[in-house]
Structures are given as C-alpha cells and as structure tokens.
C-alpha cells in the first residue's frame, strides 16, 4: 500500500461498554468509542445522558458492567485500583466543578500530581507550578484557597492541574457548566491552547453546542497569541469529531457539517447552525 | 422480606471491607503522618474540654445518686468504690464515645461527604491517591489513639467530681477513705475492659463516619443525611458493643 498513512496509535478505546447501577438503571448502554493520538472528541448530550459517567468509566473510577476498555494500547478492563493509578498518571482530568481540594492551597493543588507521583518536593516543583498557573493567568493566587476563588478561576486552576504532568490524554467534564458566556469562552480558549501546546488527545463533555463549535473551528496561534479559524483542509478538522449521547447510548458520531445536517430533532439541538435559528 | 435485609447486610459488608482495608493500610506506605497529627488535634485536643466537663458531672451525679442509696445500708463510705467502678467500667468509655461520636463521626461524615459530592474523592483517585489511605486510615489511627486517652481523662475527672460531692459537699466519707476505696476497688478486669471499650468504639466512630461520608450521594441534602445517619448508627453500635464486651468480662 504505497499511499497508506501510518495509523495513529490508539489512546482510548471503549468496546460495547454497559453500566447498570444497583437500582437496575442502565446508565450506559453498549457504548463504543475509539480515540487515536491527536483526536478531539466533543461529547454532547442532555443532562443524565451518561456523558460524565462515560468519562468516569474511561478513568476507571466506575467499573463497567460489561464491555472492554483499552488505554494507550493495553487492555485495562480487569485492572485493580493500584494498577489503575499507573494508567491514570498519563491522563489529565478536569472535573465538573474543578474538583480542587478545599484544604490545600492553589499551589499545593496544582503541585499535587507531581509531588504525589514522583518523589519531588514542593520546592522542586514550584517553578513548574508557577508556570502552569501563569498559563491560566492566575500567577498571583498561589497562596489562596479554592474557596477564595470564583467558579471560573477554580476551573482554570483545574485546567492547570490537569495539564501539569504533561498527560497524553486530557478529559474535561463540563468545563463551562454554570459559567457566564464570557468566562466560558475564556475557558474554552485555554482548553484549545492546552490542546495545541501539549499536542494531547482530548475529550470534552459539554451540554453547550458553542463549546463544540469553538473546539472544532479554532486553533491557537502561538505567535499572535490569539485564536484563529482552522483552515478547511487542516487535518485538525478531520480529527475533531462530535458525539451525541441520549439515555446512555451514542446516537451520533461525526463531523460538525454532519451534525448540522442530521434530521434527528434531538441531535439537531446540539447543532450550532440550527440552534441559532 | 429479603429486600428489607439487603441494605443493612450490604452496609455491614462495606463496613467490614473498609475496616479491613483501613487497618491493612496502617502498615503500608505511603504514610500520611501530618494528616494523622492533624486529625489527633481535631478529634483529641478538640474534644478535651467537653470530655472534662462531661466526665466531671457524670462522676458528681453518680456520687449524688449513690449517697442516698448507700446511706440506707449504712455504707456511704463505699461511695468512692462505686463511683470509680461505674466510671471506669461503663460511664467513662460510653459517655466519652457518645460525645466523640456526636462531635467527630458527624464531622468526618460531613467532611468526606462534601468531598464526595464535589468530586474531590474522584479527583484524588484520578491523581493517584488511595482515598482510604489518605482519608480513612489517618482518622482511624487518630481516633484509636485519642479516644482511650480521652476516656482516661474522663474517668479521672469523674472520680474527682465524685470526690467533691462525697467529701466537701455531703461529707459522706473522709478524703483518704474515698481515694483509698476508689483506688483499691479497681481490678485488672475493670481497667482492661475500660481500655478495650474505647478502642472498639474508636473503630466504630471513625469507620462509620468515613463509610457514610464516602457513600454520600445526592448533593448537599445527601451530606446532611449522611451526617445524621453516621451519628445514629455509631451511637447504636456503641451501646450494642458495650453490652457484648461487658457480657464477656462479667464471665471472666
């Protein structure tokens, strides 16, 4: 095959994942997903559609009732909690409200992945932490506690913590939920910057179609330090895929034009073009 | 019928598993020494003033109650013995444990419950820390260390409370007879059960608080529910266990 492009390595693969809770509620129903290096997946859906649960299954925080999970090319389905710790060290995650530890300062929160996983002292990682916080424009908050920051600032600290250990996979759970549109756009801009600078594979869960639109159409220009439209022929466009979930199932997977063209009224709710009308 | 039993059996199973894992973690690395010290301060030093107060009044009330009963038999000189035995065997451990359950089982459940609903426990696991090792084991060690000490303080202050009622207030006996009686009446059996009970209660308080905290679901309302349940369940188990331990020691 002379024209074949070398296949990008698999980062995350979910195979026919189902999850049933104790009260017989089916939270995930035969969900399959394949993410390769450099992919961006935008996971949309109404509240309770199973988006966040899917991320937690991918992180091993919830055990799937059926199906298999592959991370970084290895089957991690039957891994014990201690085996998962090693796998999770390659994944950065931003939780819905930031998931910051209330009892630790911002500096300790951001340093946590580095201090916890390596034998480095807080003093050794200090310059790294400062740099990560400057990246999210919160360089002066080192000694503050999470309760002293606004919702948007806490999310930004969460982004700094998610990216500090240079993970190969970044998962964002509703990064803009409950934020005003301006703050939400700033957060999305940071997520795009993180995607470009780290060249990481990212999955972002959201219920806001605008988030997906920004993620799919813009990239960060490190020279002008601004977001710019992605050219139509860029491979980045091809690697960005939308997923729509409904009641634990994936009901759509495709590009933004395909999402816009979908005749299904539920899927159309998450289309930028049609929601604007 | 089986459905009614399912929930308490599952909870008990979770309690046993948590107890096993938290205990095994005591000897496994990494050790969170600073967390243990912090919890000792919160649970031990924090509970000290109220323990002293409760200990004092329980001893004083015991001496007051006994004063009438003993004088009927002309045995009011034995007040030191009765106060010491009841405090060391039963009142000291149980009242201190109930106090610490109300103060700390609720505190632990609400703290861990809030961490659970704000996804801090998930974040901890995602960042490579075992929440049982980081959150449960330090609280268990701290409670197991401080509750017997608090009980000893409560026992001693209680005997002083009994003394103040029996000697200066009611003149039931002399000072030397009170202390002599109190000291000589305590046997090895009394001291053993008086120190074993707080150790068992410490397990119940720390682990029930942690279990209900970690299992919290349903937002802030769930945190409130977990807190209440933790105090009620811990208190009930304290009474059940004190009965069982006393039953064993009565036969020895």
Question: DSSP labels for A44-92?
Answer: EE-TTSSHHHHHHHHTTSS--SEEEEEETTEE-TT--HHHHHHHHTTEE
d(CA B83, CA B170): 15
Instruction: Provide, as residue numbers in chain A, all residues whose Cβ is less than 8 Å from the Cβ of B120.
Output: 99-102
pLDDT per residue as tens digits for the range B72-89: 888 877 888 889 999 999
Q: Between residues 106 and 135 of chain B, which touch chain A (CB distance below 8 Å)?
A: 114-115, 118-120, 122-130
Per-residue pLDDT of chain A (277 residues; tens, 9 = 90+): 444 556 788 899 999 999 998 777 789 999 999 999 888 999 998 888 889 999 999 999 999 999 999 999 899 998 998 899 889 988 999 998 888 999 999 999 999 988 887 778 888 888 889 988 988 888 888 899 999 998 889 998 999 999 888 888 999 998 888 888 888 888 888 888 888 887 889 999 988 888 888 888 888 887 877 888 888 878 778 888 899 999 989 999 988 888 888 888 888 888 766 554 4
d(CA B59, CA B84): 8
Bridge partners of A15, per DSSP, are A68
Bridge partners of A245, per DSSP, are A45, A250
Kindly report the nearest CA distance between residue A24 and chain B, in angstroms.
Answer: 14
Residue with tokens 């002599």: B180
Enter the pTM of the model.
Answer: 0.87
Task: Kindly identify which residue of chain B lies nearest to residue A99, measuring between CA atoms.
Answer: B120
Task: Kindly identify which residue of chain B lies nearest to residue A94, measuring between CA atoms.
Answer: B123
Q: Between residues 109 and 128 of chain A, which touch chain B (CB distance below 8 Å)?
A: 112-113, 116-117
Residues A37 and A11: beta-carbon distance below 8 Å: yes
pLDDT per residue as tens digits for the range B117-146: 999 999 999 988 889 999 999 999 999 999
Partner residue facing A102 (CB), from B120, B122, B127: B120
d(CA B207, CA B107): 12
Kindly report the nearest CA distance between residue A270 and chain B, in angstroms.
Answer: 27
Residue A99 touches partner B, C-beta closer than 8 Å: yes
Percent of chain B with pLDDT over 70: 100
Kindly report the nearest CA distance between residue B202 and chain A, in angstroms.
Answer: 24
Q: Which two tokens stand for residue A40?
A: 């961006």
**Beta-carbon separation of A102 and B119 below 8 A:** no
Instruction: Provide, as residue numbers in chain A, all residues whose Cβ is less than 8 Å from the Cβ of B129.
Output: 116
Instruction: Provide, as residue numbers in chain A, all residues whose Cβ is less than 8 Å from the Cβ of B115.
Output: 102
Q: Between residues 11 and 50 of chain A, which touch chain B (CB distance below 8 Å)?
A: none
Instruction: Provide, as residue numbers in chain B, all residues whose Cβ is less than 8 Å from the Cβ of A85.
Output: 128, 130
Partner residue facing A95 (CB), from B123, B129, B130: B123
Partner residue facing A85 (CB), from B115, B118, B128: B128
Find the largest Cα–Cα distance for chain B.
Answer: 69
**Whole-number Cα distances in Å, B73 to A33, A40, A180, B79, B84:** 84, 87, 79, 12, 19
Q: Between residues 62 and 91 of chain A, which touch chain B (CB distance below 8 Å)?
A: 81-82, 84-85, 88-89, 91
- Residue A1: what pLDDT? 42
Q: Is A266 helix (H, G, I), strand (E, B) or coil?
A: helix
Burial class (CB in 10 A: 0-12, 13-18, 19+), B206: buried
Instruction: Provide, as residue numbers in chain B, all residues whose Cβ is less than 8 Å from the Cβ of A117.
Output: 127-128
Q: State the Cα angle at A79 between A76 and A81, rounded to 5°.
A: 130
């Amino acid at each position: 095959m002379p024209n074949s492009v070398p296949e990008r390595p698999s980062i995350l693969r979910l195979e026919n994942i189902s999850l049933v809770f104790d009260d017989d509620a089916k939270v995930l129903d035969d969900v399959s997903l394949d993410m390769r290096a450099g992919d961006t997946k935008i996971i949309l859906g109404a509240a309770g559609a199973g988006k966040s649960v899917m991320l937690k299954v991918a992180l091993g925080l919830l055990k799937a009732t059926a199906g298999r999970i592959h991370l970084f090319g290895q089957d991690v389905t039957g891994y014990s909690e201690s085996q998962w710790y090693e796998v999770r060290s390659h994944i950065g995650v931003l939780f819905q409200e930031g998931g910051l530890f209330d009892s630790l300062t911002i500096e300790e929160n951001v340093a946590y992945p580095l201090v916890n996983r390596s034998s480095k002292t807080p003093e050794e990682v200090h310059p790294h932490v400062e740099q990560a916080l400057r990246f999210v424009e919160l360089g002066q908050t080192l000694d503050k506690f999470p309760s002293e920051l606004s919702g948007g600032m806490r999310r930004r600290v969460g982004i700094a913590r998610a990216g500090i250990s240079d993970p190969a996979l970044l998962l964002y759970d509703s990064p803009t939920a409950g934020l005003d549109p301006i703050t939400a756009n700033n957060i999305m801009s940071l997520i795009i910057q993180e995607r470009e600078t780290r060249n990481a594979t990212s999955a972002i869960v959201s219920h806001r179609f605008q988030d997906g639109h920004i993620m799919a159409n813009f990239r960060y220009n490190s020279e002008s330090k601004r977001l710019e439209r992605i050219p139509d022929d860029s491979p980045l466009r091809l690697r960005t895929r939308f997923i729509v979930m409904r009641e634990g199932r994936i009901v759509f997977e495709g590009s933004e034009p395909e999402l816009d063209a979908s005749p299904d009224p539920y899927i159309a709710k998450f289309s930028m073009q049609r929601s604007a009308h | 019928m089986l459905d009614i039993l399912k929930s308490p059996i599952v909870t008990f199973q979770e309690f046993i598993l948590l107890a096993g894992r938290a205990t095994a973690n005591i000897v496994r690395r990494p050790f969170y020494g600073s967390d243990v010290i912090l919890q000792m301060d919160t649970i031990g030093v924090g509970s000290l003033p109220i323990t002293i107060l409760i200990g004092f009044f329980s001893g004083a009330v015991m001496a007051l109650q006994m004063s009438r009963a003993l004088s009927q038999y002309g045995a009011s000189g034995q007040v030191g013995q009765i106060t010491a035995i009841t405090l060391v065997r039963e009142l000291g451990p149980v009242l201190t444990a109930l106090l610490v359950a109300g103060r700390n089982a609720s505190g632990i459940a609400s703290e861990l419950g809030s961490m659970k609903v704000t996804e801090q426990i998930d974040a901890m696991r995602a960042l490579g820390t075992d929440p049982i090792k980081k959150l449960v084991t330090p609280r268990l060690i701290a409670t197991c260390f401080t509750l017997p000490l608090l009980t000893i303080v409560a026992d001693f202050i209680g005997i002083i409370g009994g003394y103040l009622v029996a000697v200066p207030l009611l003149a039931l006996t002399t000072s030397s007879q009170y202390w002599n009686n109190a000291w000589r009446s305590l046997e090895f059996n009394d001291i053993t059960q008086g120190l074993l009970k707080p150790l068992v209660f410490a397990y119940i308080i720390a682990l029930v608080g942690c279990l209900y905290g970690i299992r919290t679901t349903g937002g802030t309302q769930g945190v409130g529910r977990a807190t209440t349940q933790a105090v009620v369940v811990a208190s009930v188990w304290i009474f059940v266990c004190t009965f069982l331990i006393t039953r064993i020691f009565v036969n020895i």
